[in-house]
């Protein structure tokens, strides 16, 4: 069973005071929804560890910009700190992006790619994908789709052609 994740994160109890905005963009560089979740006040900070690196992704004044490109098998969450500096790009590999009750969503296919401002690239959750296949939560076609999308995205990032990374500041500015 795939987990559907919504752009507004409406049920996230960690955020006490929030502002949310979204917009549909149709341009030469991007077609799809973008959302911005501003975390004005949070109950608890959230840190994640990538090996030796400890990265804060939720705190007072932080924001998450999500990009839901049409017809793609990925969605990006860009974490900005309170100074509007990018902390990380988090790329979810997904079956599809869509919209329900005017809120963008994506159906998560387990694999994730993190890109840090240093240029470091980290692949996550291969074990979750393997487990989903062995439990029958996904079939071999979805398994192959996830790995194919990871390869395409990684190749694009490494060659400097993954435009969504460069569009983060522009998209954040659109939403305020």
Residues 12-36 have a mean pLDDT of: 97
Return the pLDDT at 70: 98
Label residue 72 by pLDDT band (50, 70, 90): very high
* CB distance 42 to 14 below 8 Å: yes
Q: Looking at residues 23-28, what average pLDDT do you find?
A: 97
- From residue 147, how far is each of 96, 112, 142, 172 by CA, in Å? 15, 10, 9, 29
Residue 50 clears pLDDT 90, i.e. is over it: yes
Exposure string for 26-60, b = 16+ CB within 10 A, e = fewer: eeeebebbbbbbbbeebeeeeeeeeeeeeeebbbe
Average pLDDT rounded to a whole number, residues 37-66 = 97
Mean pLDDT in residue range 138-161: 97
Which one, of 39, 38, 31, 48, lies nearest residue 14 by Cα?
39
* Residue whose token pair is 């900005």: 80
Does residue 112 register a pLDDT over 90? yes
All structural domains of the chain, each given as residue ranges with its CATH number in brackets, are 3-175 (2.40.380)
Angle at 5 between CA 124 and CA 152, to 5 degrees: 45
The whole-number pLDDT of residue 27 equals 96
Task: Give residue 176's pLDDT.
Answer: 85
Ramachandran region, residue 102 (left: φ > 0; alpha: ψ -120 to 50; beta: rest): left
- Give this prediction's pTM: 0.96
- Residue 106, pLDDT above cutoff 80: yes
The whole-angstrom separation of Cα 176 and Cα 172 is 6
Assess whether pLDDT exceeds 80 at residue 1. Answer: no
């Amino acid at each position: 069973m795939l987990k559907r994740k919504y752009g507004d994160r409406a049920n996230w109890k960690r955020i006490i005071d929030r502002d949310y905005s979204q917009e549909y963009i149709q341009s030469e560089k991007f077609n799809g929804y973008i959302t911005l979740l501003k975390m004005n006040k949070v109950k608890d900070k959230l840190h994640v560890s990538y090996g030796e690196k400890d990265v804060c992704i939720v705190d007072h004044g932080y924001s998450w910009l999500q990009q839901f490109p049409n017809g793609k098998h990925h969605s990006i969450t860009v974490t900005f700190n309170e100074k509007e500096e990018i902390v990380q790009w988090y790329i979810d590999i997904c079956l599809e992006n869509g919209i329900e009750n005017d809120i963008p969503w994506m159906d998560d296919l387990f694999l994730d790619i993190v890109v840090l401002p240093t240029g470091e690239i980290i692949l996550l959750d291969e074990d979750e994908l393997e487990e989903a296949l062995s439990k029958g939560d996904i079939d071999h076609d979805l398994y192959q789709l996830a790995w194919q999308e990871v390869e395409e995205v990684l190749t694009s990032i490494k060659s400097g052609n993954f435009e969504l990374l460069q569009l983060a500041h522009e998209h954040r500015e659109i939403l305020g």
